[in-house]
Structure 1
Amino acid sequence: MAHVAVLGGGPAGLSTALLTSKHGLETTVFDTGESPLREVSIPAYLGYDDVDGSAFLARARSRVGEFGVDFRDERVELVETHGSEFTVSTERQDYAANYVVFACGGDRSLAADVGCDRDADGTLSIDHDCRTSMAHVYAVGSAARDPEADPQTRLLVSVADGAVAGLAIVSAESASVTRAEA
């Protein structure tokens, strides 16, 4: 089974993890709880009442956890590529992954480990499916978008990016399983 490593447990990472785990992919979210969203109030949107960022993330994390996501309260220190696989290293141990999703907000330093291209503004270059220039590597939310946008806009774009990346990974994995069976 493919393993998806999501680096960041904010709205973008949780959205990705929800879709990959819901579709049967082993998913690990690395999250140190440092999302800037925790510090803001999220205004009412589409029928939801105002909520503070911490409450939103707690509720989202709980929902995503219902699908078997493995949450690790560990800071990722290094991401290495080994052909078509990756090693995600934390202070505690190394984890193998087939896909890596950078959902780590404005900290794009780990993406340099695997050689992801950047745009002129320093964000990670992505295509319409949130794929970076490196195979099996995705970037969502502020890793690939303007981190200076207002919090509500960042939230909506981050959730959408996460969904796009999650579906792209599920689709890529389904295609590779179909090819292997043929």
Structure 2
Amino acid sequence: MYDVIVIGGGPTGSSAALFTSKAGKKTLVIDNGKSVTKRAWMDNHYGVDGISGPDMIEIGKKQAVKFGAEWVTGEVTDIKSGDNKHTLITEDGQTYEAAHVVLATGMSVQVAEKAGMKTVPGTEPRIKSIIAVDQQGKTNVEGIWAAGTVAGVSMHTIITAGDGAKVAINLISELNGERYVDHDVLKA
């Protein structure tokens, strides 16, 4: 069983997985390969002097994997919750279990709605529905969190990646029982 399963390997999900895996939480990312970032070029991402979406996604994946995150390709079709765990079922019948789930599914609320999460009208252009979350990123289903565009933040990668990090830090803090901080410093 995983501590955290992240559904979606775009900037939101990769950022969340980077933080959870670096914090020592057993993390799995299930990615369907359909991130809209794969079609993007970013000249507006702070600290990066232009980057293609595919390159950004690959770098994010490498960062998370470096700290122990596992990565599988698949489409999560359902989430069954009970007994303090969540069982994720993929289109090919695979099942994965976790204590916590982070939905980083971009513009798709389909699996969230099927699993009983509350949705509300979208706030961004072309986004019909989003998952209702509190300020921490929690949904109405205990142990399931949502981040990024699906949670109502702007589609810009710098913002969705930051939201994935925010939700991951909140999740890690809850698991640890105290506020989690991750600051690396230059060696003198």
Could you tell me the TM-score, scaled by structure 1's length? 0.87
Long gaps (5+) in structure 2: 123-128, 179-188
Greater Cα offset, 29-38 or 114-123 = 114-123
Q: How many residues align?
A: 171
Amino acid at match of 2:46: L
**1:92, distance to aligned residue in structure 2 (A):** 4.2
Q: Match for 1:128 among 135, 156, 164? A: 135
* Aligned pairs (5 A) from 1:83-162: 83-90=83-90, 91-121=92-122, 122-145=129-152, 154-162=156-164
**Contact 1:80–1:113 (CA under 8 A) maintained in structure 2:** no
Distance 1:23 1:168 in 2: 12
SS in 2 for 1:98: strand
SS in 2 for 1:123: strand
**Contact 1:77–1:89 (CA under 8 A) maintained in structure 2:** yes
SS in 1 for 2:5: strand
**1:50, distance to aligned residue in structure 2 (A):** 0.6
RMSD: 1.7
Aligned to 2:58: 58
SS in 2 for 1:119: strand
Distance 2:32 2:45 in 1: 27
Distance 1:104 1:114 in 2: 14
Aligned to 2:182: none
Could you tell me the TM-score, scaled by structure 2's length? 0.85
Aligned to 1:175: 177
Distance 2:44 2:16 in 1: 23
Distance 2:10 2:134 in 1: 21
1:175–1:92 CA distance, 2 compared to 1 (3 A): same
Identity of aligned residues (%): 27
Long gaps (5+) in structure 1: 177-182
Distance 1:167 1:40 in 2: 27
Q: Does 1:15 align with 2:30?
A: no
Q: Higher relative CO (CA 8 A, sep ≥ 6), structure 1 or 2?
A: 1
Amino acid at match of 1:42: M
Distance 2:58 2:68 in 1: 16
Give the number of the structure whose residues are more often helix, by fraction.
1
Residue by residue over 1:125-147, the C-alpha shift from the partner in whole angstroms, topping out at 9 and shown as x without a partner, is: 1111111111111111111126x
Aligned to 1:72: 72
